[in-house]
Amino acid sequence: MFFFINLFYIIIFHIFIKIFFNFQNISFKKIFYLYLIFLLILLFFSFYFRYLTFHKLDPIIFLNLLMNILVFFCYILTIGLKSLDSPSYYIIKYLETNKTSDVKMLYNYLLEKNLLDIRFNKLIEEKMINISKNNEVSLSNSGKIFTNFMRGLSKLLNIKNDG
């Protein structure tokens, strides 16, 4: 029974994000806090209806909770794909309409899209980087926590990140 409750939780979490957030406006931090709130609600109801107890620890329930956490990690790892278009997306889009292209024309097309400006603004908006008055860029405390978390998660799950 706890499996179905957990599955229902994951579906509700995804629907909630789809309904109340536009993927262009959502940040990693919002998803993380939202997930913690939903997880606490899941645990509260599970204890309240006695699917979880402190006296009897069922390995299947731990497996379901582990599945829940892994689904969350997948959500976090793929949310960046939904919030910003990558240069690859624009290259493919450009080549679909132009069939062939000179490298310089393609490069100029990418410069017109202002991908770096958009990404910098998104990082500033999410408070991941700080820009000083001298135009020096550094990671914020949130940025350091996030990068350490993602680096640790990548090492734990043996995920290679080239982007």
The three-point CA angle 141-151-64 to 5° equals 105
- The answer to whether residue 163 scores a pLDDT higher than 60 is no
> Which pLDDT belongs to residue 52?
72
> What pLDDT, in 10s, does the model give residues 35-48?
888 888 888 887 88
Indicate the helix (H) or strand (E) that contains 137: strand 137-139
> Residue 67 and residue 14: Cα distance in Å, rounded?
15
Bridge partners (DSSP) of residue 129 are: 139
> Residue 26 and residue 21: Cα distance in Å, rounded?
6
Instruction: Map out the domains of the chain as residue ranges.
Output: 2-83, 87-157
> What pLDDT, in 10s, does the model give residues 72-116?
877 776 765 555 567 777 888 888 888 788 889 888 888 888 888
pTM exceeds cut of 0.85: no
